Structure 1
Amino acid sequence: MKKVMIVDDEIAIRENIRSSVDWKQEGFHYCGDAPDGEMALPLIEEWAPDILITDIKMPFMNGLELASIVRAQKPEIKIIIMSGHDEFSYAQEAIRLGVTEYCLKPVSAAELLQILHQVSQKMDEEEQRLMSLAMTKEKLLADLCGGLIGTSDAIDSAKKLSLPLSAKFYAIAIVDVRLEEDAQHTEQLLNKMLFVLQETCNAHAELLPYIRSRTELVLLLKSNSEDSITTCLEELRGHIRLELEQQFTCSIILGIGSRQERLQGIHISYLEADEDKYITRLTLQNKASLRRIQLDEKMDIFLDRNQFLEFLKLGSPHLRNHFVQEFAAPLKSVDWQKSTYGFYLLNDLTLECFRIANQLFRMGADADESIRSLQERIQRIGSWEHCMEYLFTLLDQLWQRRAASSGKYSDVIDQVKSYVAEQYNNEQVSLKTISAHVRISSSHLSKIFSQETGQTITEYLTQVRINKAKELLKTTSSKTFEIAYKVGYNDPHYFSNIFKKTTGCTPKEFRSQGAMPFHEPPSEQIEEPLYE
């Protein structure tokens, strides 16, 4: 609700305005008044009104002086000047100061309300324009990757930006570029690299990129052909990455997410690409160390890594011991007390197992911590028998994750839905508060909820709130602003906008339609942003 404050030296005028308007019903909050500009200033600082109504002729500090200070210090406040003096000089000065409205005393409650609603509408329009300007192509793509925007809002924003967003398939790739020298020029290199990527990738899939940081590019690939997306991702991981490294004399760490069929799936693919990039970086670091050790120690042990990965995918726990004994037989020659060769072989195998596991089933939010814990355990291996025990543990951990991924999230989803059902009327409900309640990181919760339910958490919260609002509109005589509060919206105007986007009609229009069967909103959801 927009907050209104009045400044007038005549107490009768202040009291008359305060008592003659049903502020809440009209969608405003009357925060108070003051007898002159000097006394009003600290109150303005404390109350932070959205609209200031002030008389011109007042002792100590008049309305024009007050308006001048407020415009300089708090330009977002809209000012309405009231004056009993129909003099052109006052109006002229008020316009120069950027006053929103100018009216003559005496002003009736109806006239004042008309002015207030006009000013409120101007404020809403300004806010919409600012939001439109802020929604650049880069921000839209970043919000899609971050799961911060709903499907309908994303499509609307893309349309305004003339950005072709719709497709049957999507995937995310993250390109982390590291220069051997002149690191300060990485940002310039990214722009040049983007041009090359556009030329090479567009042969298979359309590329919508943005720069995430001074060393990273995020590539949103989209196509109506699943094969085209797959081919493009394979070429990115293969010859395109190598050609870019040669052309720009740099090293590239690539992370690739899975193919998705919905816009909301972009967020999932993005999280997977980020995880893939992390594991790739560790793998490259390990391989570099392994090559140095091979040269120093003149060792060349072959471990059939593909065989181990195949057993991870399809093997049975009761065959574990026999398989590991045969697989680890080449490591018997390693002197675990003097050589570090075996440690790096196991570290490389562990990272590849996590990469495959991440593609096969949903890893937990603690995957990074699990890798670090296993790496510490590798460092403590002192014999071939210890090596065997480690491989047992690696297989067991990943199998446990595979088994848990198929069923454990139903409990988490139920917890989220139960929490939303209890707290939907609390405006402070956010992805952060929900993730804290279920004790899962925000990013991981966002990913699994989308995967399990087909909608984001913010879309689900909006669905619950709007459904409850529809129920209240049909079964109670509560005012629209009262219903807005009851379903978690402190701003009735924002509530009305969300309601209309979701249902296709305003709350008033919905109520006037008469009794209707209660039903779910359309599949294309509208969401309000949730901030962490």
Structure 2
Amino acid sequence: MKKVLLVDDEILIRETIRDTIQWEKEGFIYCGDASDGEVALPMIEQYQPDILITDIKMPFMDGLELSSFVRKNMPDIKIVILSGHGDFEYARTALRLGIEEYCTKPISSADLLVTLRQVSDKIDAARQEKLEIEQLKLEERRQASLTQSKLLNDLCSGFITTSEAVHLSSKLNLNLLSRYYVVVTADFRKLTLSDSFQENFLDDMKQAEHKLNLKLDGSNHLVFKRSKTEWVWILKFDSPEQTKQALDTVQQAQNQSMEHLSYSISIGIGSVQDRMQGIHVSFLEAMEDMHWRRLSRQNRHAMLESRNGSFEQSVFLDRAKFVEFLKIGSPAHTETFIHSFASILQHTDWHSSLIGYYILNDLTLEVFRSARDSYPNIANFDITLYELQKDIESIRTLDEARSYLIKLAEQYWQWRSGASDKHGDMLLKVKKYIHEHYDKDYFSLQDAADHVNLSSGHLSKVFSQENGQTFIEYLTQTRIRKAMELLQTTQAKSYEIAFLVGYNDAHYFSNLFKRVTGMTTRQFRKNGQYNKDLPTPEREEHKGFVSYS
């Protein structure tokens, strides 16, 4: 129902209008009346009426002055002038002020109701229009957010080249350019399977996400939600000092104790990159870091439950000390170090409790996480972890625990000694495969990964680290190089060349060619020169590769 306020200096008119209309039955609320504009103002502030009925000629503040004030400060209020003056000048002034209706006295209750219903319909129409506009704006913002999230996700996943990312971001008014980049990922997960605290859990999760967003907040930082539980931040910095300061903040959140919470937050940090194409590598490293930290937190939570909800922090082995020994210690001192290091386990019950398993598994997960950071190209990582965890299950004495720690150290050193470039043959096969299949429009990273029996994520990471460019950038470079050659050596049309080098969309190919070469295909065919100094497969034998031709 619409609220109505009446302003008139004649008490008889006020009482007549008030008493002769059944307001609620007609769909209105009569808020009250005032004798002049000055008295009406505080009532308007208090009741916020939808419709204001006012006389013109009143003492202290007349109807036109009141209408002018209301239109300026409360533009949603519709104003109906009810005046005994039929003078055209009054009507013209009222219309100039934006008055909805101008009625002359005397007016019957029936006629006034007709006017009020007309004004009410206009209010409903205006509100509906406003609602539809807000919904359209909300949908536009949602679509823009989805488009931005897809762009950022594709950039992190290595699905688009640097030039494509810059081109698409300019359309979204999104600034991707920076001196330094770091990717941070976070996974928010419920620790218990029980649904009894579902509502509180969701509230706690939203607060945790909000707090982490505030810590990573920055006008230059980019964020998107990758899945129901995962957030990704692309942090951008202008100097190494800014980068270090921000990463210190992230690491504090990363190492925060969360034993008292009903949920787990696992935060991964990638390496600092000075080129946009490095965002993909930083993202993969952050996801890997997050994965191992999540395993570690799950292990600690399982131990907490096995101890009925309480344990001393000192029950865990010093992970940082052990990893430091693996990195800088001497294998000749292994037995002496392990004997002292594991002394904290001398009172552990290995037969009737799982505490020993959780303690050693906690240390093992940290060693694996550190190894993955230092030597990202380790093969059969999960299989090795599974085998070591099976070894932990069979431990029944302190001496067996010490023997296991020696084995764990030896495994780490084996990874370290084998961390030299052993991917040359694999990368050679991948590049050869690219040059054999680049002309297929369906060719993808997954096809190449299947060819060398690796996961697409692992191949993408290794390819980027070893070549200084992502898989998709190398594939695009190969296709464009071949297109340049065909433009110079054949009379094939542009759309035919697009098909020959693996693009079924000629318009997309033309735009991409211009972004990469700075020329249209027509300009290149007329004025361009095939650059024989580009690193072609035939000449990579000088870098230790054989010819593909």
- Normalised by the length of structure 1, the TM-score is 0.64
Residues 221 and 235 in structure 2, CA contact (< 8 A), matched pair in contact too: yes
Aligned to 1:314: 328
Rounded Cα–Cα distance in structure 2 between residues aligned with 1:308 and 1:482:
61
Q: Please state how far the C-alpha of 1:356 moved relative to its aligned partner.
A: 2.1
**CA distances 1:332-387 after superposition (whole Å, capped 9, x unpaired):** 44443334332222111111112222332315364344333322221122333432
1:516–1:216 Cα change, 3 Å = closer
Q: Please state how far the C-alpha of 1:449 moved relative to its aligned partner.
A: 0.9
1:299–1:454 Cα change, 3 Å = closer
Within the alignment, does 1:483 sit opposite 2:497 as a pair? yes
Paired residue type of 1:159: S
Residues 158 and 471 in structure 2, CA contact (< 8 A), matched pair in contact too: no
**CA distances 1:243-274 after superposition (whole Å, capped 9, x unpaired):** 9999x985422222222222222222222222
Aligned to 2:186: 175
Partner secondary structure for residue 276 of structure 2: coil
- For residues 107-256 of structure 1, the aligned pairs below 5 Å read 136-178=147-189, 183=198, 196-202=211-217, 206-238=220-252, 251-256=264-269
Q: Please state how far the C-alpha of 1:437 moved relative to its aligned partner.
A: 0.8
- For residues 275-294 of structure 1, the aligned pairs below 5 Å read 275-291=288-304
Q: Please state how far the C-alpha of 1:395 moved relative to its aligned partner.
A: 1.9
- For residues 63-142 of structure 1, the aligned pairs below 5 Å read 136-142=147-153
Residues 425 and 486 in structure 1, CA contact (< 8 A), matched pair in contact too: yes
Residues 189 and 265 in structure 2, CA contact (< 8 A), matched pair in contact too: yes
Partner secondary structure for residue 446 of structure 2: helix
1:193–1:158 Cα change, 3 Å = farther
Q: Please state how far the C-alpha of 1:473 moved relative to its aligned partner.
A: 2.2
Aligned to 2:368: 354
Rounded Cα–Cα distance in structure 2 between residues aligned with 1:208 and 1:255:
16
Residues 471 and 518 in structure 1, CA contact (< 8 A), matched pair in contact too: no
Partner secondary structure for residue 418 of structure 2: helix
Residues 289 and 373 in structure 2, CA contact (< 8 A), matched pair in contact too: no
Rounded Cα–Cα distance in structure 1 between residues aligned with 2:466 and 2:244:
24
**CA distances 1:451-470 after superposition (whole Å, capped 9, x unpaired):** 11111111101111211221
5+ long unaligned stretches in structure 1: 1-131, 522-532
Rounded Cα–Cα distance in structure 2 between residues aligned with 1:358 and 1:267:
17
Paired residue type of 1:440: L
Picking from 474, 494, 500, the partner of 2:508 is 494
Q: Please state how far the C-alpha of 1:322 moved relative to its aligned partner.
A: 4.3
Rounded Cα–Cα distance in structure 1 between residues aligned with 2:313 and 2:247:
35
Rounded Cα–Cα distance in structure 1 between residues aligned with 2:250 and 2:313:
33
Picking from 336, 356, 373, the partner of 1:342 is 356
Rounded Cα–Cα distance in structure 2 between residues aligned with 1:478 and 1:510:
13
Rounded Cα–Cα distance in structure 2 between residues aligned with 1:374 and 1:445:
25
1:187–1:164 Cα change, 3 Å = farther
Paired residue type of 2:283: Y
Partner secondary structure for residue 465 of structure 2: helix
Within the alignment, does 1:400 sit opposite 2:414 as a pair? yes
Rounded Cα–Cα distance in structure 2 between residues aligned with 1:389 and 1:356:
21
Rounded Cα–Cα distance in structure 1 between residues aligned with 2:257 and 2:340:
40
Residues 176 and 216 in structure 1, CA contact (< 8 A), matched pair in contact too: yes
1:294–1:223 Cα change, 3 Å = same
Residues 187 and 215 in structure 1, CA contact (< 8 A), matched pair in contact too: no
1:301–1:242 Cα change, 3 Å = closer
Partner secondary structure for residue 376 of structure 2: coil
Paired residue type of 1:173: V
Within the alignment, does 1:331 sit opposite 2:360 as a pair? no
Partner secondary structure for residue 370 of structure 2: helix
Rounded Cα–Cα distance in structure 2 between residues aligned with 1:298 and 1:515:
71
Partner secondary structure for residue 405 of structure 1: coil
Paired residue type of 2:358: Y
1:465–1:238 Cα change, 3 Å = same
Paired residue type of 2:276: L
Aligned to 1:507: 521
Aligned to 2:83: none
**CA distances 1:143-199 after superposition (whole Å, capped 9, x unpaired):** 122211211111122111111221111122222234686546877777766655454
Rounded Cα–Cα distance in structure 2 between residues aligned with 1:508 and 1:493:
13
Larger Rg: 2
- Normalised by the length of structure 2, the TM-score is 0.62
Residues 472 and 478 in structure 1, CA contact (< 8 A), matched pair in contact too: yes
Partner secondary structure for residue 284 of structure 2: helix
Partner secondary structure for residue 515 of structure 2: helix
Rounded Cα–Cα distance in structure 2 between residues aligned with 1:309 and 1:226:
26
Paired residue type of 1:402: R
Rounded Cα–Cα distance in structure 2 between residues aligned with 1:267 and 1:259:
11
Question: How many residues are matched?
Answer: 388
1:145–1:345 Cα change, 3 Å = same
5+ long unaligned stretches in structure 2: 1-142, 536-549
1:299–1:404 Cα change, 3 Å = closer
Residues 178 and 186 in structure 1, CA contact (< 8 A), matched pair in contact too: no
Residues 178 and 252 in structure 1, CA contact (< 8 A), matched pair in contact too: yes
Partner secondary structure for residue 169 of structure 2: helix
Rounded Cα–Cα distance in structure 2 between residues aligned with 1:260 and 1:460:
19
Partner secondary structure for residue 221 of structure 2: strand
**CA distances 1:113-145 after superposition (whole Å, capped 9, x unpaired):** xxxxxxxxxxxxxxxxxxx97972111111122
Q: Please state how far the C-alpha of 1:441 moved relative to its aligned partner.
A: 0.6
Structure with more contact order per residue of length (Cα contacts < 8 Å, sep ≥ 6): 1
1:320–1:210 Cα change, 3 Å = same
